[in-house]
């Protein structure tokens, strides 16, 4: 009797596993791989509406801008709750195993995917790569050549031909080149006009594999169900495995190069990965993780911000004019001429441009959602009880649309809200504006990102005008960052200006 009971239960388990696998496969049938990542990962829709819009309506009506869903998920847009989880009660809100394990195939034990001691060590080493001296070097050695020799000539050609280009795609290629050059001294050359895979040392394949792998991992939204096809190496998980193999191969080569050039005065020896190699004693696997974590950090964040920036600017000629006038004034003060590259001081003086980019990210946060896991029972500000194992998610897209935080005109694009009477930029509390995160895990690349975005946006506004082609209202899609659905088709006009005296 006992034997048949255990046989029965084993059979039931097996049947269940097979049914789950079949369901998973039917829902996650691999699409045409050549066509890019699975469309499913790009959609996050509830009741027929994009999740961010749906949850914004919900949160703005909820008490303390916080709601709890069945299954232990809390969603909030409350600055007090954000301060509590990111700073005051930091130790009780790690990233947690749910997020860690799902992302582990891509991010391994890298800084984005670890907690505690492991994270602290990496944070200490990583911060060495973001000092002022390094930032100045990235500006002259990477941002300038990437903008002057690639981005602007590309736009000049587009203006001359009168063709429509996808500005989002261009900015993504720009950001990918930049993060690889700054990160590891590796140049994928995605912005080189006719760079096909062969011509750009396979950088294009690396970029595509990253995009697919990330989208496939983010489509693992059913907790733990993906483990079965992963184990069986079928469906999307088989596809993911192929993309990860490509990424591993690249990362390993990048690490090997970085080690070889460690002692020489090369771009690699001065890159973000250099302090990790200098530290010594880190395994090759962890160095691979460092590479893939940096790509995640810099890849689409700045390009998403700049895409929405140019989209907003196209319907705001007065804002565009103020940015242009500010550039003229900065050039006049420093004696610079149109087309010359901005130095650090000039970029600092562009306070209105800084405000306009910040205002863009308020309305279109590059990372619109983030989450923490609750390590022990707790009570959030506002009174909601949370239990061990629950996740607390916060929605920055909603926060930008909250009258309580930003006033009646919260849905308007108004860079002036960031300036004082003298026109100097006034930062906001990172808990009301957690775009770069807040507390001990605040984004390490914030200064670098602003420098990169201002250098590129300033040079583009100074020389070009962009007219958005097609329907005026653009929707978003979320693949970790807030991209523009369907890209941003624009026509480019070159505006030649006189040399500034
Ligand atoms: C507009 C551009 C950017 C935005 C909005 C942004 C935003 C963020 C956010 C929200 C986090 C926290 C993520 C989390 O832990 O869940 C973060 C962390 C981080 N960011 Fe950025 N980021 C930007 C650009 C960059 C760039 C260009 C780099 C460097 C290449 C960078 C490096 C990092 C690093 C290393 C962390 C991890 C910090 C830690 O966990 O201790 N970021 N960033």
Which of 281, 238, 237 is closest to 259 using CA atoms? 281
Q: How far is the CA of 360 from the centre of ligand 1 (A)?
A: 17
Q: How far is the CA of 296 from the centre of ligand 1 (A)?
A: 9
- Ligand 1 atom showing the smallest separation from residue 365 Cα: 5
| Confidence at residue 100, expressed as pLDDT on a 0 to 100 scale | 60
Q: Please state which of the ranges 25-39, 221-235, 307-321, 325-339 shows the lowest mean pLDDT.
A: 25-39
Residues 6+ apart with CB under 8 A from 94: 115, 116, 372, 373, 375
Model pTM score: 0.90
Pocket test for ligand 1, best of 181, 185, 297, 396 (most atoms within 8 A of CB): 297
- Residue 37's pLDDT band, with cuts at 50, 70 and 90, is low
Per-residue pLDDT at 424 exceeds 90: yes
| 4, burial (CB in 10 Å: exposed 0-12, middle 13-18, buried 19+) | exposed
| Confidence at residue 289, expressed as pLDDT on a 0 to 100 scale | 95
What three-state secondary structure class fits 370?
A: strand
Strand ranges inside 139-298, DSSP E? 164-166
Per-residue pLDDT at 350 exceeds 90: yes
Residues 6+ apart with CB under 8 A from 282: 276
Residue nearest to atom 35 of ligand 1 (CA): 444
Residue nearest to atom 3 of ligand 1 (CA): 301
Which of 424, 304, 420 is closest to 357 using CA atoms? 304
Q: How far is the CA of 294 from the centre of ligand 1 (A)?
A: 9
- What does the pLDDT average to over 338-363? 95
| Confidence at residue 40, expressed as pLDDT on a 0 to 100 scale | 45
Q: Which residues contact ligand 1 via a Cβ below 6 A?
A: 111-112, 123, 126, 179, 294, 297-298, 301-302, 305, 366-367, 370, 435-437, 441, 443-445, 448-449
Residue with the larger pLDDT of the pair 497 and 226: 226
Q: How far is the CA of 73 from the centre of ligand 1 (A)?
A: 24
Q: Which residue has the tokens 């973001």?
A: 130
Q: How far is the CA of 420 from the centre of ligand 1 (A)?
A: 27
What are 464's strand-pairing partners? 494
Q: What percentage of the chain reaches a pLDDT higher than 90?
A: 66
**Distance separating alpha carbons of residues 77 and 175, to the nearest angstrom:** 29
HSE-up of 143 (CA within 13 Å, CB side)?
A: 26
Per-residue pLDDT at 470 exceeds 90: no
**Token pair recorded at residue 219:** 């489509």
| Phi and psi at residue 445, to the nearest 5° | -95, 15
What three-state secondary structure class fits 458?
A: helix
Our measurement of the distance from residue 329's CA atom to the centroid of its chain's CA atoms, rounded to an integer in Å, reads 32
What three-state secondary structure class fits 328?
A: helix
- Ligand 1 atom showing the smallest separation from residue 123 Cα: 41
410 is in an annotated binding site: no
Q: How far is the CA of 36 from the centre of ligand 1 (A)?
A: 25
Q: Please state which of the ranges 75-79, 157-161, 257-261 shows the lowest mean pLDDT.
A: 257-261
Residue nearest to atom 42 of ligand 1 (CA): 445
CATH, range 39-494:
1.10.630.10
Q: How far is the CA of 297 from the centre of ligand 1 (A)?
A: 5
Q: How far is the CA of 443 from the centre of ligand 1 (A)?
A: 4
**Distance separating alpha carbons of residues 158 and 147, to the nearest angstrom:** 15
| Confidence at residue 2, expressed as pLDDT on a 0 to 100 scale | 47
- Ligand 1 atom showing the smallest separation from residue 298 Cα: 27
**Distance separating alpha carbons of residues 372 and 81, to the nearest angstrom:** 12
- Ligand 1 atom showing the smallest separation from residue 442 Cα: 38
- Ligand 1 atom showing the smallest separation from residue 453 Cα: 1
Q: Please state which of the ranges 100-114, 116-130, 132-146, 301-315 shows the lowest mean pLDDT.
A: 100-114
Pocket test for ligand 1, best of 443, 447, 450, 478 (most atoms within 8 A of CB): 443
């Amino acid at each position: 009797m006992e034997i048949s009971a255990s046989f029965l239960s084993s059979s039931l388990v097996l049947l269940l596993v097979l049914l789950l696998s079949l369901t998973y496969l039917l829902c996650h049938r691999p699409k045409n791989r050549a066509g890019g990542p699975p469309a499913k990962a790009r959609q996050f829709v509830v009741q027929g509406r994009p999740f961010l819009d749906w949850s914004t309506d919900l949160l703005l009506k909820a008490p303390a801008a916080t709601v709890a869903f069945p299954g232990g998920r809390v969603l909030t847009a409350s600055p007090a709750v954000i301060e509590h989880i990111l700073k005051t009660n930091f130790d009780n809100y790690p990233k947690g195993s749910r997020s860690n394990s799902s992302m582990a195939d891509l991010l391994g034990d890298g800084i984005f995917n670890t907690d505690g001691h492991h994270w602290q060590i990496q944070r200490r080493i990583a911060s060495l790569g973001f000092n002022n001296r390094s930032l100045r070097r990235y500006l002259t050695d990477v941002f300038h050549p990437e903008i002057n020799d690639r981005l602007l000539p590309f736009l000049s050609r587009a203006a001359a031909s009168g063709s429509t280009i996808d500005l989002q795609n261009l900015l993504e290629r720009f950001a990918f080149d930049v993060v690889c050059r700054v990160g590891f001294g590796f140049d994928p050359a995605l912005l080189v006009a006719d760079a096909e895979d062969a011509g750009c040392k396979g950088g294009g394949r690396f970029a595509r594999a990253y995009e697919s792998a990330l989208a496939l991992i983010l489509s693992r939204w059913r907790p733990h169900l993906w483990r079965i096809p992963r184990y069986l190496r079928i469906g999307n998980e088989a596809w993911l495995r192929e993309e990860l193999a490509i990424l591993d191969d690249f990362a390993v080569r990048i690490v090997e190069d970085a080690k070889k050039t460690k002692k020489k005065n090369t771009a690699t020896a001065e890159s973000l990965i250099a302090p990790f190699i200098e530290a010594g004693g880190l395994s090759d696997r962890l160095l691979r993780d460092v590479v893939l974590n940096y790509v995640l950090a810099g890849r689409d964040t700045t390009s998403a911000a700049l895409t929405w920036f140019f989209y907003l600017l196209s319907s705001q000629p007065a804002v565009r004019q103020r940015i242009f006038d500010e550039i003229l004034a900065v050039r006049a003060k420093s004696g610079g001429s149109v087309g010359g590259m901005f130095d650090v001081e000039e970029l600092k003086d562009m306070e209105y441009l800084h405000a306009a980019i910040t205002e863009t990210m308020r309305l279109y946060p590059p990372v619109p959602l983030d989450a923490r896991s609750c390590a022990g029972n707790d009570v959030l500000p506002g009174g909601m009880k949370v239990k061990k194992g629950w996740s607390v998610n916060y929605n920055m897209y909603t926060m930008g649309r909250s009258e309580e935080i930003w006033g009646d005109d919260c849905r308007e694009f108004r860079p002036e809200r960031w300036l004082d009477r003298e026109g100097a930029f006034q930062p906001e509390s990172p808990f009301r504006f957690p775009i770069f995160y807040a507390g001990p895990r605040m984004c390490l690349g914030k200064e670098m990102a602003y420098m990169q975005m201002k250098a590129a946006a300033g040079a583009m506004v100074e020389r070009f005008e962009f007219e958005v082609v097609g329907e005026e209202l653009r929707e978003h899609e979320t693949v970790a960052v807030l991209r523009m659905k369907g890209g941003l088709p624009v026509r480019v006009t070159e505006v030649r200006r006189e040399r500034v005296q």
